Amino acid sequence: MIALGCDHGAYALKEKVKAYLLEKGHQVEDFGTYSTESCDYSDFGTAAAHAVASGQCERGIVLCTTGIGISISANKVRGIRCALCTDPLMAELTRAHNDANMLALGAQITGDMLSLCIVETWLNTPFEGGRHQRRVDKIKALEQE
């Protein structure tokens, strides 16, 4: 199950990502927003992040105009490693090296087609483990301080 969350500035892109995910056979939990009416990205980013952190959803994708605010919000939830990616290489490396469990996209930064390529790469790249596990464990330990 993939959690989705966005603000009004990324509503249209979220709907395209959602349709793409469903077309590819993924289950989706949509935490909103559900329109282009002005709202606060943090409400929807943290709702999706809590679903991932609790295990309700395996991974999450959050979107806002730039992807910055919603990624910051998601990363405030313990257990979340949300990466803002603007190209497929970033998506590949954040999965392979950081075991990112959430992806952030900026609707006005990446176009629809590039965003879908980023999503596809992020979903299909496994975590490498090995030396990267040590580093992810150190990030996890910071949450215990």
Active site positions, annotated? 64, 97
Q: What token pair was written down for 127?
A: 């975590």
Say which residues have a Cβ less than 8 Å from residue 77's Cβ, sequence separation at least 6.
46, 49, 50, 52, 53
Quick one: how far is CA 83 from the chain centroid? Answer: 7
Number of residues that this document lists for the chain: 145
Structure-token pair, residue 70: 């919603």
